[in-house]
Amino acid sequence: MAPVTLSVADRLDILDVITRADQAASDRDAEAYVRLFTVDAVLDGAQGRHAGREALRAAVGPVWAAEGPVTLHLTLNPVIEDLGDDRGRRVAVRSVLLIIAPGPPASIHAAAPITQILVRGNGSWNIGRRTVGVPGTAG
């Protein structure tokens, strides 16, 4: 992957999208979550492969329900990588997703490597692909 040559504003916008996705997941707000994705986005990983906003909307409810009634989704150590194509309109963000059950006592429900491909179009960044890796593997 090439070093990122994005502006500071683009980097902050990308991190904002990822943070908003975490917040929507913590709030169990499927509509807010899906709005952060492109129309043809793919969500894949241990819970299957879901393509398109409607499939994402249908998939996230059961995934979040399996976590229990309250969890916090936190992205740790995001690294933005330029994919070297589309003149800076596509980037990969590799991070660790930490899902915490707030307790008391607080406990780690899950941790997994995440790779997200974000696409810039119409003046904003959206998630085009979100891959949830298996712990201990590359995302």
Say what the pTM is.
0.89
- In the chain, domain spans: 8-132
CATH of 8-132, one of 3.90.1150.10, 3.30.365.10, 3.40.50.1370, 3.10.450.50: 3.10.450.50
pLDDT tens track, the chain, 139 positions: 555 578 899 999 999 999 999 999 999 999 999 999 999 999 999 889 999 999 999 999 999 999 998 999 999 999 999 887 666 689 999 999 999 999 899 999 999 999 999 999 988 999 999 999 864 444 3
Q: List Cβ neighbours of 113 (8 Å cut-off, separation of 6 or more).
A: 94, 95, 96, 97, 132, 133, 134, 135, 137, 138, 139
In this structure, are strands 37-45 and 124-132 parallel, antiparallel, or unpaired?
Answer: parallel
Other C-beta atoms within 10 Å of 76: how many? 10
